[in-house]
Amino acid sequence: MAQPVDAGRLERPRVDERDGYYVLKEKFRQGINPQEKVKIKTEPMKLFMENGIEELAKLSMEEIDKEKSSKDDIDVRLKWLGLLHRRKHRRKH
């Protein structure tokens, strides 16, 4: 037997336009993973369109690691653009 569907889930559209991009409306964001939250907060394409990649390239890894927004850019938004990196894993003895 089919389960009833919450009427709120059927609402259209589920997105708002922001700065030329479509973003999921706030009330539909419950339960999304942390990577999606980062992408909603700061559009990944802006790294490419607004020279954000060049700005990140000027920073040392120590500077990037100090700021959560820079770490999110490296760990989430660059991957979304198809640019992958590997962090050095330091062993603690």
Mean pLDDT for each 10-residue chunk of the chain (93 residues)?
Answer: 71 78 80 81 78 84 79 78 70 60
Distance of CA 71 to the CA centre of its chain: 11
If DSSP codes are grouped into helix, strand and coil, which group holds residue 49? helix
The pLDDT score that the predictor gives to residue 33 is 84
- pTM, two decimals, is 0.51
The pLDDT score that the predictor gives to residue 92 is 62
Spatial CA neighbour of 52 closest among 37, 34, 70, 76? 70
The pLDDT score that the predictor gives to residue 88 is 63
